[in-house]
Amino acid sequence: MKPLAIAAALAAALIASQAQAATKTAVFAGGCFWSVEKFFEATPGVTAAVSGYSGGTSANPTYENHAGHLEAVKVTYDPAKITYAQLVDRFYHNIDPTDPRGQICDTGPSYRTAVFTANAEERAVAEAAKAKYAKELGATITVTTRNAAPFWNAEGYHQDFAKKNPAHYERYRVGCGRDRVLRVVWGAQAGR
């Protein structure tokens, strides 16, 4: 390889690693990970959203065996373009934070809602949002604030499900009544 080509390759690798270092991650559980992944992928400043499992004690959970884990999404974002507080706000406006059974038509322990926090600053942001929305909605907020836990990627067929299977996802979303419920909870602020 020529010295100029080597220098260019090294420069490209350095730029890529600096871009990666500039991003942060956050984990949210908001019911079915298909919906959470979809709305975060459409969020400016988010560079990736990955469906998975978090919060349980077992290693390598699967869709068929993830007892104790929540369906969650790991969000990679550029903090120069979107703040953690804005991510938390986006999360809240795309879920029913008052549903103690799960999310809308998806009920059960693995569909409950949570914000997984990596440090005291994130915990303070999550708790402030919970208090704010409890007051704003005049309701008990059932979203829990949990310490960050290992995140396990879901199977490949769950990743980008709404993009890869738009008709199936649309039937699920409409059949579940997700948009209707979010409008009841949030009014014009739903989905923002």
Sheet holding 113-117, edge to edge: 144-147, 113-117, 24-30, 70-77, 46-54, 151-153
| Closest to 94 measured CA to CA, from 154, 151, 157, 162 | 162
Which candidate in 26, 27, 32, 126 is catalytic?
32
Structure tokens at 77: 């974002």
Contact in structure between 140 and 170 (CB atoms under 8 Å): no
Which amino acid type is present at position 81?
K
Q: Is 105 a catalytic residue?
A: no
- What is residue 188's DSSP assignment? G
Structure tokens at 68: 């104790």
- H/E element, 144: strand 144-147
Residues labelled catalytic: 32
